[in-house]
Amino acid sequence: MKNYFSPQMSDGEIQNISGLGLAHLGDAVFELLVRSAMCSLGRETQTGMHKAAVSMVNASAQAAFAEILWEKLSGEERDVFRRARNAKVHSSPRNADIGSYHSATGLEALFGWLFLKGRTERINELFEVIMDHAEKDGES
C-alpha cells in the first residue's frame, strides 16, 4: 500500500512537480501545522482556534514568516522557495499585494517540498521559529 500521508518521493519525482504544485501541497501542510499548534496551545473554542489560524494562514502573514526564515534556509531550500515565488500566477487574493502573495507561495512550496522529502524534523524546526515569532507578536 502506498503511504500518502508520508510519501517521501525521490528527488526526480519532486523535481517534476511545479513550484505551484508544491505550494498547493505546502498550503495544506502549513495549515495542518497551524491547526495542530492551536490545539496544543489549548484553544478552547472552535471560533478562537479559527481566528488564530486565519491570522497565520494568509499571504501577508506567510510573507512575513518567509522573511523571518530566509537567513535560516539552506541554499537548496532557498532554491525551492525562489522557484515557487517566481512562478507565473494569474491571480492573487484580494486582501494581499502580489509581492506578499509570491512570498507566501514560496513559503508554502518550501513546506510542501520538505513534506515530500520526508523531512519532518526540518519542518518542525522552521515552524517553531514561526511560532516563536507569532507568540511574541501575539498572533497565536
What single-letter amino acid sits at 114?
Answer: L
Query: DSSP labels for the chain?
Result: ---SSS----HHHHHTS-HHHHHHHHHHHHHHHHHHHHHHTT--SHHHHHHHHHHHSSHHHHHHHHHHHGGGS-HHHHHHHHHHHTS--S---TTS-HHHHHHHHHHHHHHHHHHHTT-HHHHHHHHHHHHHHHHHHT--
> Catalytic one among 11, 27, 97, 137?
27
Is 11 marked active-site? no
What single-letter amino acid sits at 48?
Answer: G
Q: Compute the distance between CA of residue 52 and CA of residue 131 in angstroms, rounded to an integer.
A: 12
User: Which sequence positions are flagged as catalytic?
Assistant: 27
